[in-house]
């Protein structure tokens, strides 16, 4: 399947699997170490976990030793809580293609409570996650 044409539902099972692959494949190519977690709230019923646990993901990035989990981690250095409906359009914007639009969309998410961030990432971690974001933006339906 061509990843350039495949479209995945934001925060769905296939989307979570793909972001894990993107993170673990990109990590050995960049010199960065950090942990991050995203929790999605107000997700549609079709995307909720059957066990009732939160929908989300987490990772510990450390080169070839990078790990990815399909569950949020409350102990990650950088944690994000995203309202699914509010963030759904934001995830489709490529920073590299249109940084002003992406920045404006993030500002709206932060002001309206669609996104709440805890902790801080390094500049290297930001660059890493921007590449992950742009990759996922191209394949998110």
Burial of 11 (0-12, 13-18, 19+ CB in 10 A): buried
Question: Phi and psi at residue 9, in whole multiples of 5°?
Answer: -75, 130
Mean pLDDT of 86-115: 80
Domains within the chain, CATH numbers bracketed? 13-137 (3.30.1050.10)
**Rounded CA gap, 55 and 39, in Å?**
6
Q: pLDDT value at position 34? A: 96
As a whole-number percent, the residues of the chain with pLDDT over 90 amount to 62
pLDDT tens, residue by residue, 50-92:
999 999 999 999 998 999 999 999 999 999 999 999 898 888 8
Query: Mean pLDDT over all residues of the chain?
Result: 89
- 113 versus 51: the higher-pLDDT residue is 51
pTM (2 d.p.): 0.88
């Amino acid at each position: 399947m061509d990843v350039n044409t495949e479209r995945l539902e934001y925060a769905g099972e296939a989307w979570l699997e793909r972001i894990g692959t993107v993170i673990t494949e990109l990590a050995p190519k960049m010199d960065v170490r950090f942990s991050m977690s995203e929790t999605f709230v107000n997700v549609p019923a079709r995307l909720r976990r059957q066990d009732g646990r939160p929908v989300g993901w987490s990772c510990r990035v450390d080169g070839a030793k990078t790990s990815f989990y399909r569950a949020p981690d409350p102990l990650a250095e950088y944690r994000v809580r995203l309202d699914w409906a509010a963030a759904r359009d934001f995830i489709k914007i490529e920073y590299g293609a249109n940084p002003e639009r992406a920045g404006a969309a993030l500002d709206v998410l932060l002001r309206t409570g669609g996104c709440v961030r805890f902790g801080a990432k390094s500049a290297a971690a930001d660059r890493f996650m921007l590449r992950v974001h742009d990759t996922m933006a191209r394949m998110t339906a």
